[in-house]
Structure 1
Amino acid sequence: MENKKTYYISVGAGEIMTTPSASPWQFKIQASDDEITRLRQLFDSNQANSVDDFLRAHVPFVEYHNDSTNDIHDENLMKVYEMIHQLGDAEARQHIESMGILNNFTSE
């Protein structure tokens, strides 16, 4: 079994911190190095995707629900919340469940 450490997550900022006082955070999780690497990849993917979103924003006739960059961002965000739900403490799980964000979401 891999050694798990405590991390503090800020979803909006895409931050993963090892100390609670480093920056504002919303969720506390216990994760292995591999799990944190996967979470970082999801955050990084959304950051890279934001450049495409910016470029698309200058094309006014493409609607949000017909834009593949938005689909990628939304799917990554769902995966982030799913990981936090799996790895988070009771408060994190309860908060995500109260949001209803994972209802009807199934990761691949």
Structure 2
Amino acid sequence: MIENEADGRGRKTYYVSVQSGQILEDQQAAAYELEVALNEEEHIKLRELFDELASMDEAQTFHFAHSPYGSAGDSEMNAGYDELIVQIYKKLYEHGSDTTKRHIESMQLL
């Protein structure tokens, strides 16, 4: 675990892959896109957002498998998914390294 020396609130550096929904402490453990410094509470909140996103992915898969022609609920599901993605990237931007912030800015998502 890498302690962020600049912050006395127990922040640790984590390596995040939004695509796979992973928050890693070991930079070598898997591929990652972004680097953030989080305290325990922030880490838990980000994990909850990723868990919610995974649940929504499962719900969408189930929904579209059983309703291939779509429904009024499709746009609502997509809007919910998009909102979660934005929430995740806001958290990552807020706690990200300079490189992470530049990457998120380049996405023009926020």
Q: % of aligned pairs identical?
A: 26
Q: CA deviation at 1:61?
A: 2.7
User: Is 1:35 matched up with 2:59?
Assistant: no
Is the CA contact (8 Å cut-off) linking 1:8 and 1:27 kept in structure 2?
yes
Q: TM-score under structure 2 normalisation?
A: 0.85
Report whether the alignment pairs 1:4 with 2:11: yes
Aligned residues: 102
CA distance in 2, matches of 1:62, 1:2: 47
Q: How does 1:16-35 map to 2 (within 5 A)?
A: 16-35=23-42
Structure 1 counterpart of 2:80, one-letter code: I
Counterparts in 2 of 1:31 and 1:22: CA distance versus 1, 3 Å: same
Task: Give the Cα–Cα distance (whole angstroms) in 2 for the partners of residues 14 and 63 of structure 1.
Answer: 27
Question: Over residues 75-107 of structure 1, what are the superposed CA-to-partner deviations in whole Å (9 max), with x where a residue is unaligned?
Answer: 1111111111010000000010011011xxxxx
In structure 1, C-alpha distance between the alignment counterparts of 2:72 and 2:92, rounded to whole Å:
26
Question: Match for residue 89 of structure 1?
Answer: 97
Cα deviation 1:3-46 (Å, max 9, x = unaligned): 10000000000000001000000001001100010000000001
Q: Residue 53 of structure 1 aligns with which residue?
A: 60
**Which residue is equivalent to 1:105?**
none
Specify every segment of 5 or more residues in structure 2 that has no aligned partner in the other structure, as ranges. 1-7
- Structure 1 residue 63: deviation in Å? 5.9
Q: Runs (4+) of structure 1 moved beyond 6 Å?
A: none
Greater Cα shift, 14-23 or 53-62? 53-62
Separation (CA, whole Å) in 2 of partners of 1:71 and 1:5: 32
What is the TM-score of this pair, normalised by structure 1? Answer: 0.86
Structure 1: where are the runs of 5+ without partners?
A: 103-108
